[in-house]
């Protein structure tokens, strides 16, 4: 008898230890976690800033907050790999310590974004200032693609001076900051030589990171086929992939409405096609035929700055909603905004809901109705679906809750 009692007591104690309460439980949402092939109604338990469990029924006993996500979509926190965040107050500094870039926390959490990659705001000379002013003061996880221009994205004449493009120095700063530097950026070059691309690829090869190319400003134009097939490596990123501006070759042949064969070959080779929506870098005249041809972007990103966010682009959910309404399935849209970008920037610990991962999570409502979507050329479409962010968690903490779906709304403070 005594033995049975001891056994029961031991079992009870073991159970109590195992059944430690979760800090937050998200109940009843439709979880889409492409890395783990989850696309079903699930609960998520969060403990100590990490995902503890994803399961059909997670116990809420003892939880500090319970989130009612019934009827909502729950995904890993979004990763925007083309963003402009090096905000500052220097005159004539454009997106490098200038007035056109955005402080991350002001626009990320309200749309489900938990990680941004600043695409070339800082170069090797200005990265330490970017880290001090922006990375270290943001709750959003801020990463960087170093501009091949040492001064970063300061505009002309700096971005035209090939003497300021140093592959070796760029790679050294990247290698000294592996937690933050995830790539090398080329943009806005108007000369007709390959120097910026090749120096960036040199830096990327030395630091073992991808390059991201904003292509098409050269006069006379450089060949897109040569860029994709000869200069870029597998894993390198062609951003603004649905752009259609004068002087820039397009991925869709406008005569046939089909994606060019060499573009398909480049994808086969491993080149990444990123949206990088921006001010004038997304046109329905390219995106609609490309999607009809089955050519989805690898990653959905915004190229957000003070110009694009108040124009056709708006925010990442507006861009994702455009792709949904063009026929890209929701799980694909979520994958292109979470797990795919995590892999592209070589941070496979991000963009997923695996137990043990940092609990960066987004909760969305999908609204039905008639919504207008337009591009910078004035082409307008009407869509029936639109995503809205209900809640964002960063490292296991609720950092945005639109309608108060957490109970209690604020965790009771234990002092």
Positions touching Zn ion (CB under 5 A) are: 119, 303
Smallest distance, Zn ion to C-beta of residue 226, A: 22
As a whole number of angstroms, the distance between CA 4 and CA 142 comes to 56
Smallest distance, Zn ion to C-beta of residue 53, A: 38
As a whole number of angstroms, the distance between CA 123 and CA 181 comes to 11
Smallest distance, Zn ion to C-beta of residue 138, A: 18
As a whole number of angstroms, the distance between CA 33 and CA 173 comes to 34
In terms of CB distance, is 27 or 185 closer to Zn ion?
185
DSSP assignment string, 252-277: EETTTTEE-HHHHHHHHHT-EEB---
In terms of CB distance, is 147 or 286 closer to Zn ion?
147
Helix, strand, coil shares of the chain as percentages rounded to 5?
A: 30, 30, 45
- Taking CB atoms, the residue at the shortest distance from Zn ion is 303
Smallest distance, Zn ion to C-beta of residue 156, A: 15
Smallest distance, Zn ion to C-beta of residue 304, A: 8
Scanning 93-237, the segments in alpha helix (DSSP H) are 127-133, 167-176, 195-207, 224-226
Smallest distance, Zn ion to C-beta of residue 59, A: 45
Smallest distance, Zn ion to C-beta of residue 239, A: 7
Beta bridge partners of 382: 372
Conformation bin of residue 206: beta by default, left when phi > 0, alpha when psi is -120 to 50: alpha
Spatial contact of 144 and 117, defined as CB atoms under 8 Å apart: yes
In terms of CB distance, is 74 or 119 closer to Zn ion?
119
In terms of CB distance, is 30 or 305 closer to Zn ion?
305
Q: Say whether 7 sits in a helix, a strand or coil.
A: helix
In terms of CB distance, is 119 or 344 closer to Zn ion?
119
End-to-end CA distance of the chain: 44
In terms of CB distance, is 30 or 240 closer to Zn ion?
240
Spatial contact of 169 and 124, defined as CB atoms under 8 Å apart: yes
In terms of CB distance, is 47 or 84 closer to Zn ion?
84
């Amino acid at each position: 008898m005594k033995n049975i009692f001891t056994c029961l007591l031991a079992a009870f104690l073991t159970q109590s230890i195992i059944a430690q309460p979760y800090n937050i439980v998200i109940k009843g949402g439709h979880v889409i976690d492409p890395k783990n092939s989850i696309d079903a109604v699930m609960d998520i338990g969060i403990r100590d800033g990490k995902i503890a469990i994803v399961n059909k029924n997670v116990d809420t006993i003892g939880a500090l907050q319970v989130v009612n996500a019934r009827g909502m979509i729950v995904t890993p926190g979004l990763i925007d790999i083309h963003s402009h965040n090096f905000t500052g107050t220097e005159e004539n500094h454009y997106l490098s310590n200038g007035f056109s870039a955005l402080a991350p926390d002001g626009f990320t959490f309200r749309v489900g974004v938990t990680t941004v990659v600043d695409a070339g705001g800082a170069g090797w000379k200005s990265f330490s200032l970017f880290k001090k002013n922006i990375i270290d003061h943001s709750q959003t996880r801020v990463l960087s693609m170093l501009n091949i221009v040492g001064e970063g994205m300061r505009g002309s004449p700096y971005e035209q001076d090939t003497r300021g493009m140093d592959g070796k120095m760029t790679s050294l700063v990247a290698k000294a900051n592996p937690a933050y530097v995830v790539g090398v950026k080329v943009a806005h070059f108007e000369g007709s030589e390959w120097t910026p691309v090749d120096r960036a690829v040199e830096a990327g090869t030395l630091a073992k990171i991808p390059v991201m190319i904003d292509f098409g400003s050269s006069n006379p134009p450089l060949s897109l086929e040569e860029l994709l097939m000869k200069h870029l490596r597998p894993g390198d990123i062609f951003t603004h992939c649905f752009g259609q501006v004068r002087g820039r070759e397009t991925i869709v042949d406008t005569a046939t409405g089909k994606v060019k064969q060499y573009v398909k070959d480049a994808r086969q080779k491993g080149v990444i096609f990123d949206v990088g929506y921006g001010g004038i870098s997304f046109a329905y005249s390219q995106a609609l035929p490309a999607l009809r041809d089955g050519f989805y972007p690898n990653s959905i990103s915004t190229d957000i700055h003070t110009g694009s966010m108040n124009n056709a682009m708006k925010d990442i959910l507006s861009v994702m909603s455009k792709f949904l309404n063009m026929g890209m399935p929701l799980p694909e849209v979520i994958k292109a905004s979470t797990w795919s970008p995590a892999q592209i920037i070589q941070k496979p610990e991000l963009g997923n809901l695996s137990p043990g991962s940092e609990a960066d999570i987004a909760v969305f409502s999908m609204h039905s109705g008639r919504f207008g979507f337009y591009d910078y050329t004035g082409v307008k479409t009407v869509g029936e679906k639109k995503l809205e962010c209900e809640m964002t968690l960063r490292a296991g903490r609720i950092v945005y809750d639109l309608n108060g779906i957490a109970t209690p709304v604020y965790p009771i403070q234990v002092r």
